[in-house]
Amino acid sequence: MKIGLALAAGGVKGFAHIATLKLLEEYNIKPDIITGSSAGAIIAGLYGLYGNSKKVYDKFSNAVEKFLPSFNKYTKKLNKSAGSWGILQRSLVPIEDYYPFFRYLFGKKKFSDCKYQIGIVTFDNSARTSLLITEGFLVDAVMASASVPGVFSPLWIAGTLNTDGGVLSPVPVNEAIQLGAEFVIASTFSRKPLDYPKDQMELMFYIDAWKDVEIEYIDLDKANMVIYYRIPYEWHEFQNYNEIYQSALSYINERREEFDPRYWR
């Protein structure tokens, strides 16, 4: 039976995926196929290369620590992006400012260098469909998959502009099945808005968040097992990466019987 692991989009919440990987390692389960959108793409690519959850945590956390100071100058603008600044700008972070982060993570490694079959999901802006990438340089595919619309510039992949894979595939379960997975484990997060909107602009984001929830339900319905983390942080609050990882480990340990492979169907 081919086991697939679908890793959800979610920014810094992606550190919780590493707890999922650690759980599988403890049961000596090696997924045959790993798909990822956005933050899930980062974890999928790193685990594909290293095949070890500790190495994934070390690499990802080192990258965050190294580049967090340069990101911080943009996080303040995120709270203002609903105003005139966000309306008038094409993107918040120029590509030359976030490319070094992904180059640090993946360098010149290719999909063919991975220990597992990896599928990275992006959103094709022209075709308006999800694009499943399985070959080429990891840095290009992962960076495109993690390009949050309005925050990062879209990237050219296969002759078309691509943005965040979470637009249509917040949890790429379908893509794991497409690659041949017969049993799919989905690792994801709560996407329900924390606060009720205070104005019309916030209402737009609030409605968009609920659309993500509905899209995700469709994906999760095809998963055989779902690990669902509830993380009370925004996707861009990278300074909280270790708290997110530790809370995910606690969640796993508290519900270990639920995730025991002996009860998988």
pLDDT in tens, 25-49: 999 999 999 999 999 999 999 999 9
| Span 180-236, pLDDT tens digits | 999 999 999 876 655 665 555 455 555 556 566 667 767 888 999 999 998 888 777
Q: What pLDDT sits at residue 98? A: 78
Cβ–Cβ < 8 Å for 256, 249: no
Indicate the length of the chain as a whole number.
Answer: 265
Displacement of CA 10 from its chain's centroid (Å) = 5
CB-based contacts of 198: which residues, under 8 Å, 6+ apart? none
b/e map 84-122, b = 16+ CB within 10 Å: eebeeeebbbeeebbeebbeebbeebebeebeebbbbbb
| Span 108-153, pLDDT tens digits | 999 999 999 999 999 998 888 899 999 999 999 999 999 887 677 8
CB-based contacts of 167: which residues, under 8 Å, 6+ apart? 123, 130, 149
Nearest Cα neighbor of 232 from 187, 171, 191 is 191
Cβ–Cβ < 8 Å for 95, 152: yes
